[in-house]
Homo-oligomer: A and B are copies of this chain.
Amino acid sequence: MRTLSSDLPDHIGKTVHIQGWLHKKRLLGGLTFINVRDRGGLVQVVIDNKAEVEKLRGLQIGTVLAVDGKVTEEPRALGGAELHDAKLTVLVSVEAEPPIEIDKPLSHKPDNLDTLFEYRPIGLRNLQEATVFKVQSAITQALRDYFYQQDFTEIRTPKLLAAATEGGAEVFKLDYFGREATLAQSPQFYKQIMVGVFERVFEIAPVYRAEPSATTRHMTEYISVDGEMGFINIEDLKQFLGGQMNYVSDHIWKEHGDELKRLNATKPKLPKEIPSISMAEIHAKYSKANGQNTVGEKDLRPDEERWICEYAKKNLDSEAVFVTDWPVSEMKFYHKAQADNPKLVDRVDLLFRGVEIVTGSMRENDYAVVLKQLKEMAGGDPEDPGFKPLLQAMQAGMPVHGGFGMGLERLTQKFLGLNNVKEASLFPRDINRLAP
């Protein structure tokens, strides 16, 4: 019967059987110590028997081992216990020396990222690397829990599409039995259609962008967290996002606080009601403070995003900010213009720690208006198989609705304080990288 490393404190004084990987060997004061890794973490094992020390000599890091030993209290060991009188059994031997060391933090400097990703299958065995994805798993779980609590239904929508719907650029094309198909850049129209069925829907699934440059913010494949709600206004949308961000933050700090601290992450300041600043106001504030002139620009500069986040942290006690009141030039055909000021869109982006992690908006739900906007703003053909299903749903009656898309890797990156979004992807993809 196997005992996990994390359960050792329940077995003090007893002999247990553990199985895992040889993670580290050390000589300390004439004694040999090894760390064995299993899914619970690390166990420290003291090897004092000569035959066992001998057995250990030729074993490479990564060797799969069973260890029988007596659980002994040891305050200096992780978890407060270690194994004594250990007997080792090699389960799977490793011949070659590992190409990278996994018992020390791996370099994440920009110059080293390619090496980091090249050896990913082994490097992820480093506990610091693994923590990133353990936390990402917890983030996903918390995002979903919050969706469920708010009465959302999970949906699965196709990523193989007949036509490029949203913007023709940056779309991957493929041969589909002699026809052209494209990969979905977002589940936008499908989630809107599904508001007509379930009112509140979410999807967490890959999306694809043929991003032609390698940046620290973009990947060609990423996990999009999409939510869409009917019978709501933009304040409801903001309230939902504020609640979800807080729920996720509280959850990961409760479940993984120690590991997060070890990665030098800090728990973000996130008021229940995240502050809103209009784009015009951000431009004005930024221009005044930085001797620049961004007034009238239709989007935020990356430096502006960073600056307004710093501003909000200092002055509004929040590391997240909603950017509201977007100019109509940034409007997409399915967006809704503001009723009292049609030069502005009811769009709301969430900036978090210097970068946009959420794009949200209210959607135009009047069939005639959507049809007009599609033709005039996007030059779209209502009979295009990419637009037709959305229009079908609109024509059959759609309530006021709105929603958002969030990049899971960016969210993970910002919670953990990583520099490059690719560090938050197990096997990242960009223009230069299709493997491992």
Contact = CB atoms under 8 A, between A and B. Distances in A.
Contact of A427 (B158, B196, B398, B427): B158
Chain A interface category by residue count? 35 or more
Contacts of A2: 231
A363 B215 CA distance: 38
A-B pairs, top 5 by smallest CB distance, nearest first, are A62-B397, A389-B436, A174-B174, A39-B199, A385-B435
A62 B396 contact: yes
A181 B429 CA distance: 11
Number of copies: 2
Nearest to A162: B434
A365 B19 CA distance: 15
Contact of A154 (B137, B153, B210): B137
Given A130-B197, A172-B175, A365-B92, A220 B160 contact: yes
A176 to B, nearest CB: 6
Interface string A142-163: 0000001001011111111110
Nearest to A140: B154
A281 to B, nearest CB: 32
Interface hub of A92, A94, A395, A436 (most chain B Cβ within 10 A): A436
A46 interface: no
B434 A19 contact: no
A121 interface: yes
Nearest to A202: B137
Contact of A426 (B21, B156, B161, B435): B156
11 contacts: A122-B392, A125-B396, A133-B198, A137-B155, A156-B408, A158-B429, A160-B429, A161-B435, A190-B427, A386-B435, A388-B435
